Amino acid sequence: MNQQNQLAMDKIDSSQILNLFDFEKLAVGKMTTMAYEYVASGAADEFTVRWNRQALDAIKLNPTVLTDVSQIDTSTSLLGLDLPYPILIAPTAYHKIMHPEGEHATARGAGSAKAVYVVSSFTTTPLEEIAKVATQPLWFQIYVRDDRDFTKALIQQAEALGFRALCITVDTPVAGVRNRQDKALFGLPDGVNTPHMYGGLAEKKPFTWKDIDWIKSFTKMPVLLKGILNSDDAEKAVAAGMDGIIVSNHGGRNLDTVPATIEALPRISEKVNKRIPILMDGGIRRGTDVLKAIALGANAVLVGKPICFGLACGGAEGVTKVLEILKNELELAMALTGRATIASIDPSVIWK
């Protein structure tokens, strides 16, 4: 497909895309069945995938009235970065199965939306090419492989390219049961590969807190642990000198029947007690979801699947549109609950 035809396909019909759920509906017709099933599916019976949404939906808001919300300020600071709003792009793999431009388009879309993009180590575009087109900060997500020298070299490569933080996925010692993905016969098409990761994850060497200490010993990037659900693990992360944690159940893609991340968040927030930043992913689809996560202790949230659907629907423009919709909805949610700043969002915004 030539570039002109691709750009024509990428035009977003604003009358048809009003929220993030609309992106997924449109993406069904834009993506191959295999690609859609890869993005949309979860582990086993997909209880956790559903619970991520259901738990957010079940939380009721407690608005206050007659406060000055004439100027809504969604800006915040995170690990030395000044962000215009507390929404980041979560690391997701294989963007070229969603759109021919892959992570190039994702990075450009993030730039237009002024959002941090956390690049997956299973990117289908080399890191140096992503860094060339990025106009906003990049973070890097990594799986620690049995080959520790390979892992160290990759982290150092990302650091040399100017990536601003390292997210270590810690919830995947083995891959989960992914029946729906397997039924779709998932596999990378000819010509699509992962330049920084060899093969799938089939690691045999134990990956423990000692390896986290080892990584901290050689990188200057802030280090976050992605995949924390247990508050005791959160305490260990603080004790190990982590710069942040990401409360995540891997989008429900690894261990089915673990709780929704929004359910795990309050006990983790209580244990961490603001000593390090907490981020959360899993099920975020509305601005009210972002508000709820911040009220329950998150400093910011990450969105993954909606970004993939936006990419499939409109390339860079689709990615930007996903983030703009969420930001606009967050502003409305803040105004309607009487919260003019991110700092003013606290547990009192939740109906008890």
Three-class SS string for 160-197? HCCCCCEEEECCCCCCCCCHHHHHCCCCCCCCCCCCCC
pLDDT reported for residue 4 = 45
> In Å, how far are 81, 110, 237 from 165, measured between CA atoms?
10, 16, 16
User: How many angstroms separate the CA atoms of 183 and 127, rounded?
Assistant: 31
Asked whether residue 95 is marked as a ligand-binding residue, the answer is no
Domain ranges of the chain: 33-349
Give me the residue label for tokens 């689809």.
285
User: How many angstroms separate the CA atoms of 277 and 77, rounded?
Assistant: 10
Asked whether residue 110 is marked as a ligand-binding residue, the answer is no
Asked whether residue 42 is marked as a ligand-binding residue, the answer is no
pLDDT reported for residue 6 = 55
pLDDT reported for residue 97 = 98
Residue 248 phi, psi (nearest 5):
-155, 140
Asked whether residue 135 is marked as a ligand-binding residue, the answer is no
Domain with residues 33-349, CATH architecture: Alpha-Beta Barrel (3.20)
User: How many angstroms separate the CA atoms of 127 and 312, rounded?
Assistant: 21
Specify whether the CB–CB gap between 10 and 319 falls below 8 A: no
What is the set of active-site residues? 250
| pTM of the predicted structure, to 2 decimals | 0.96
Asked whether residue 284 is marked as a ligand-binding residue, the answer is yes
User: How many angstroms separate the CA atoms of 217 and 153, rounded?
Assistant: 14
DSSP-assigned letters across all residues of 33-70: HHHHHHHH--STT-HHHHHHHHHHHHPPB----SS--S
> Residues in the chain with pLDDT < 70?
1-9, 14
